[in-house]
């Protein structure tokens, strides 16, 4: 594995290898998800805001808030999560990170029930890599289980594994635009996302 990582870094420009990764930022984003529900698909539009902070050189924290609307339904959702984790530099061009997630979700305007909510925990593992000096790649796997609350009591499938890949282009050293794709395995959900980020 080390030889593979070193081989990747040797193919990258020296300027990219010298850059560090920022975990202190604020960001805004939009995502469109398509959920497979049998013969039909459900589209979900989500709008999110997030912030990250690295209290030490080898740790990070993140807060994410999102509001979602399900097309052609009265349903809307709110998702809140807090992540605490650690990071390490595998090489000058690649970071690896691992975090624990606490999450809360709420679905409003549910027929025959005003609101449904759920609480849970999860984990993430990922790698960030500089491809060129202004382009960063982020690959991540996330497992989340909303094991407590109304959704779980109603028998809903509340745990899922999601694989994602994203890229950020830094127009300046502190401002970037990004895009990504993720797939949730159990719910068979495809998500495309875009956003802007400001690093401190």
The single-letter DSSP state of residue 158 is: -
CATH fold of the domain at 2-199: Porin (2.40.160)
The structural domains of the chain, with segments of one domain joined by +, span 2-199
**What is the DSSP secondary structure assignment for residue 112, as one 8-state letter?**
T
Give the predicted TM-score (pTM) of the model. Answer: 0.85
* Burial (Cβ within 10 Å: 0-12, 13-18, ≥19) of residue 118: buried
- Residue-wise burial string across 85-102, b where 16 or more C-beta atoms lie within 10 A, e elsewhere: bebeebbebbbbbebebe
Please give the helix or strand (H or E) that residue 152 lies within, else none.
helix 150-153
Q: By the 8 A CB rule, do 194 and 170 touch?
A: no
Would the pLDDT of 6 be above 60?
A: no
**How far is it, in rounded angstroms, from Cα 87 to Cα 4?**
20
Cα gap 190→181, rounded to integer Å: 7
Q: Look at 189 and 10; give whichever has higher pLDDT.
A: 189
pLDDT tens digit string along 143-169? 999 988 877 666 566 789 999 999 999
Between 154 and 91, residue with greater pLDDT: 91
Q: Half-sphere exposure of 16 toward its Cβ, with a 13 Å CA cutoff?
A: 21
Quote the distance between the C-alpha of residue 81 and its chain's center: 10
Strand partners, 195: 29, 178
Residue with tokens 């509001």: 67
Q: Quick one: pLDDT band at residue 108, thresholds 50, 70, 90?
A: confident
Q: How many residues does the chain have?
A: 200
pLDDT tens digit string along 62-90? 999 999 998 877 788 999 999 999 999 99
């Amino acid at each position: 594995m080390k030889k593979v990582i070193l081989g990747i870094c040797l193919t990258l420009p020296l300027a990219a290898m010298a850059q560090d990764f920022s975990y202190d930022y604020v960001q805004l984003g939009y995502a469109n998800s398509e959920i497979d529900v049998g013969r039909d698909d459900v589209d979900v539009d989500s709008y999110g805001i997030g912030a990250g902070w690295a209290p030490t050189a080898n740790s990070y924290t993140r807060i994410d808030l999102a509001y979602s609307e399900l097309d052609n339904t009265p349903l809307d959702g709110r998702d809140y999560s807090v992540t605490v984790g650690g990071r390490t530099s595998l090489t000058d061009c690649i970071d690896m990170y691992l975090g624990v997630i606490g999450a809360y979700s709420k679905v409003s305007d549910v027929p025959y029930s005003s609101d449904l909510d759920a609480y849970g925990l999860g984990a993430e593992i990922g790698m960030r890599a500089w491809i060129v000096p202004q382009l960063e790649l982020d690959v991540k796997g996330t497992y989340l289980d909303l094991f407590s609350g109304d959704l779980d009591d109603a028998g809903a499938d509340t745990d899922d594994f999601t694989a994602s890949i994203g890229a950020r282009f830094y127009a300046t050293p502190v401002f970037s635009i990004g895009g990504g794709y993720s797939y949730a395995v159990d719910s068979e959900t495809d998500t495309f996302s875009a956003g802007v980020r400001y690093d401190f």
